Amino acid sequence: MIAPALLSAQHSLPKQWNGEILEADQGLVSLYSTMIDSSIKHRSGEFTFILKGRRSKISYSFSAATQDPAEAPSIYWKVKEDTYDLMEASFVDSKGRKRSWQGPYPKAITVKPRSISSMGNWYLVYLKADGRFNILLKPARPNIPLEKWQGSVRSLVDGLTGEDYELYKAPQSPKKSGFRQVVTGVRKIQMLYKLDLFKFNTYSREMSGIFQTNDADIRTCYTDLLDRDENAKGQLVYAFIYSGIAQGIKSLKIRRTTMTDAVFQECMHFKLRGLTFPIRQSVAGELIFQFNTVQ
């Protein structure tokens, strides 16, 4: 549940990150959270909070569910690089009772460009004795393998101190000519696609234009697959739902495919979910990719 007071026009809604390359002035934030009452028992529920940038003056309104700190962060949000103050928060427990907190919190949160800033472990504390709701932030390093995103994220940062936990180290180039050099010299890589928006095909041209603009980035999923399997080729058919409000693909499911490499499928999923389209109409559609190499 999102508190109406937190969603006024002066606040921006941050987009969730799906693995795409970040802009030069963008960073990511993530957190752990747990609700604890005065008897030190965890409670489930939903909470919202406001972060305000000191330089940009941009205020972001976030919404999240409480989670077990033993689990990995469930969401990564994209925000502008800046130093942020936690201004306010509102919590609604599993029984529908709401409690609010007003800041700013004493510690600021640092967001560096193309980095994941851990906002730490947030204890959303409810003190029964005086009926107060409070927030306590403690540093927590997420267990995140940076190499998973192949340089999309270049560092993991302690958002409460601004210090780097870990820097991404790009893999060393092989001494000999690699397979990809040979392939690009003798074969042409094909990535063809067909888009069907059914009764809303009037928007196909605009959506196709975004695919064309990002063709080189999407194509890297296939060239990376060829590094692992030089004979890889086939078809990948998606059913998807596009949200005109979020201006992105909300649901993306493989309907059928002859390309079963899990890393390739994950790469394609992140690339497509990370695209932004200039279309306000929500639509359902089918997207067919055909991958091949030509001598």
4 CB-near residues (< 8 Å, 6+ apart): none
pLDDT at 295: 57
In a domain, 220, yes or no: yes
In a domain, 172, yes or no: no
- Asked if 193 and 213 sit in the same domain, the reply is yes
CATH number of residue 110's parent domain = 2.60.40.3540
Q: How confident is the model at residue 151 (pLDDT cuts 50, 70, 90)?
A: low
pLDDT at 255: 94
Q: Which helix (H) or strand (E) holds 227?
A: helix 215-228
pLDDT in tens, 168-218: 665 554 444 343 333 333 457 788 889 999 999 999 988 988 888 888 888
pTM above threshold 0.85: no
pLDDT at 187: 54
As a whole-number percent, the residues of the chain with pLDDT over 90 amount to 35
Q: How far is CA 281 from CA 72, 155, 238, 245, 247, in A?
A: 34, 36, 19, 8, 9
- Asked if 20 and 163 sit in the same domain, the reply is yes
Q: Which helix (H) or strand (E) holds 59?
A: strand 59-65
Least confident piece of the model among 26-35, 100-109, 146-155:
146-155
Q: Is the pLDDT of residue 109 over 50?
A: yes
151 contacts 170 by C-beta, under 8 angstroms: yes
In a domain, 233, yes or no: yes
Q: Which helix (H) or strand (E) holds 133?
A: strand 132-138
Closest CA to 162 of 117, 113, 114, 106: 117
The boundaries of the domain holding residue 54 are: 4-167
Q: Is the pLDDT of residue 8 over 70?
A: no
Q: How confident is the model at residue 150 (pLDDT cuts 50, 70, 90)?
A: low
pLDDT at 72: 75
Q: How many domains does the chain have?
A: 2
